[in-house]
């Protein structure tokens, strides 16, 4: 009885932390409650919900399954597992659980809405499969775009690229800087210029290998930034703090440029514009959110369609498919979005050979580049996310030794200080979206290397104000019901 009472007290404290959006702390207290009294399905379902908020969907599925084992009639167990499956893009599994929950709680209005959204997602997938074309017959949308059919009307008052005298336009630094200011005032550029940025960026990215080697001279520096996630005004702040990209100030942005934040279009066009203007001074790694499945759920699809068109969204997808998966700086530092691999002996040449022009698969090197996370425990474990894996300090040490490297830099995870050094100093996480989704309270950070020694130097920064457009404004409506 004493254990049961103490467990209930811990659950109530955890609920309070959850309400205050301290999700990691809530997980810890729910875990203590479960350790004292594991016969209560509510504790597992609540911890599952906290894992969902932390984007740890694999752990959320496991906890919801435990809740169902403890009490097969507990609707919230199926509800939470359905939520987690939906976030993983496993819509058939999600709808099965949500239907079971609906039988137990038939009057829940949020549940009915989620079921409808799930059914719509499945219909969309079936429709896309029916229209799919064999690879050998695919015509890329980007190859069909004719910029000459997009005249810039006299009524357009925004920034203009420089006319080239032959009916076309050339991107200039003056245009890019004016575009950044236009976006800051919540105005868009003409679609002609947006398409040109995309098409020129795609051509540049196609010419790169899946792993890119970068040499940094001894008297120069190089800045690596982590996730930005559509937080445009924080992106501008990075350049305010550290200078605009250019020949003397190169950058690498390490994936997850879009989704969640509601200025993702502005973020990705800004990054790609600098890439087109200074190809050797702006480098971009693919993140797990530069993918069709994530964009449908977390907002980029809806935002592009709202601000431009479905045609532009198709071109964005083709650009994302050509983003490199990893970079090596001065033959010492590996930079990739997620982490390391499920098997020993992976070489840099293996990464160079990955055929990346595709949507990310559910397993293999490309998937792990985008999704994996470090863990403090030795060896390898199943991922809390439900995709990729967790890898320990021994895995990092052996990989670096095998490949003659000194450090792994990755992103993919919110860190309270904007960065974290782990694995005995051999691995760095850098995250550049402060106060992530307007609720996490974290700092952002970037890391700078001097070519002479390649020692990481960190700069942290706070979030800056932005217009009153909430994160996830264009995301799947599924996320706003009972979440």
- The catalytic residues are 289
Task: For residue 480, give every residue at least 6 positions away whose Cβ sits within 8 Å of its Cβ, in sequence order, or none.
Answer: 472
Supply φ then ψ for residue 50, to 5 degrees: -65, -40
Which residues face 282 on adjacent strands?
251
Handedness of CA 290, 294, 298, 303 (dihedral sign): positive
Buried b (16+ CB within 10 A) or exposed e, 458-469: ebebebeebeee
Secondary element (H or E) of residue 389: strand 389-391
Reported as type and span, the H/E element at residue 100 is helix 91-104
Whether 159 and 197 have beta carbons less than 8 Å apart is answered as no
Nearest in space to 75 (alpha carbons), one of 17, 114, 27, 37: 114
Phi, psi of 47 (to 5 degrees): -65, -35
- Closest residue by Cα to residue 314 from 272, 359, 257: 359
| 220 neighbors 192 (Cβ within 8 angstroms) | no
Q: What are the DSSP calls for 211-272, one per residue?
A: EEEE---TT-EEEEE-B-TT-HHHHHHHHHHH---BTTB-EEE-S--SSSSTTHHHHHHHHH
* Residue 408 host element (H or E): strand 407-410
User: Cα separations (Å) of 239 from 82, 337, 433?
Assistant: 41, 21, 13
C-alpha closest to that of 342 among 383, 288, 376, 286: 383
Contact 84, 60 (CB under 8 A): yes
Distances (CA, A) of 436 to 254, 423, 443: 16, 25, 9
């Amino acid at each position: 009885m004493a254990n049961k009472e103490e467990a209930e007290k811990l659950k109530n404290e955890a609920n309070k932390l959850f309400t205050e959006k301290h999700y990691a702390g809530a997980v810890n207290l729910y875990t203590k409650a479960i350790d004292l009294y594991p016969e209560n399905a509510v504790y597992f379902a609540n911890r599952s919900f906290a894992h969902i908020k932390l984007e740890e969907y694999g752990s959320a599925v496991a906890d919801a399954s435990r809740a169902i084992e403890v009490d097969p009639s507990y609707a919230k167990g199926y509800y939470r597992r359905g939520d987690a499956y939906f976030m993983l893009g496993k819509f058939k599994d999600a709808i099965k659980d949500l239907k079971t929950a609906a039988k137990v709680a038939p009057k829940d209005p949020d549940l009915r809405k989620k079921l409808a959204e799930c059914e719509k997602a499945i219909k969309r997938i079936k429709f896309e499969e029916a229209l799919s074309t064999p690879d050998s017959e695919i015509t890329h949308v980007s190859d069909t775009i004719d910029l000459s059919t997009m005249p810039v009307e006299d009524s357009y008052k925004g920034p203009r690229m420089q006319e080239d005298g032959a009916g076309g336009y050339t991107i200039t630094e003056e245009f890019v800087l004016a575009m950044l200011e236009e976006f800051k005032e919540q105005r868009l550029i003409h679609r002609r210029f947006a398409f040109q940025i995309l098409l020129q960026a795609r051509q540049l990215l196609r010419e790169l290998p899946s792993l890119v080697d970068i040499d940094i001279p001894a008297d120069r520096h190089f800045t690596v930034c982590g996730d930005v996630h559509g937080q445009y005004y924080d992106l501008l702040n990075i350049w305010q703090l550290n200078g605009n990209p250019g020949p003397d100030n190169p950058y690498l942005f390490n994936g997850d440029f879009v989704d969640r934040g509601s200025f993702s279009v502005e973020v990705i066009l800004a990054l790609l514009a600098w890439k087109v203007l200074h190809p050797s001074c702006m480098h971009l790694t693919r993140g797990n959110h530069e993918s069709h499945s994530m964009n449908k759920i977390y907002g980029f699809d809806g935002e592009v369609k709202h601000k431009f068109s479905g045609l532009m969204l198709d071109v964005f997808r083709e650009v994302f498919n050509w983003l490199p998966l990893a970079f090596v700086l001065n033959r010492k530092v590996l930079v990739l979005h997620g982490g390391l691999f499920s098997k020993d002996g992976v070489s840099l040449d293996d990464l160079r050979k990955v055929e990346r022009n595709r949507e990310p698969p559910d397993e293999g090197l490309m998937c792990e580049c985008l999704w994996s996370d470090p863990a403090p425990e030795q060896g390898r474990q199943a991922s809390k996310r439900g995709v990729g894996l967790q890898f320990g300090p021994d895995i990092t040490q052996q990989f670096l030794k095998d490949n003659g490297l000194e450090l792994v830099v990755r992103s993919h995870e919110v860190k309270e200080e904007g960065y974290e050094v782990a694995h005995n100093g051999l691995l760095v996480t850098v995250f550049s979206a402060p106060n992530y989704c307007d609720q996490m309270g974290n700092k952002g950070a970037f890391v700078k290397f001097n070519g002479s020694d390649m020692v990481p130097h960190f700069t942290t920064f706070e979030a800056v104000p932005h217009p009153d457009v909430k994160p996830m404004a264009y995301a799947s409506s599924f996320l706003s019901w009972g979440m």
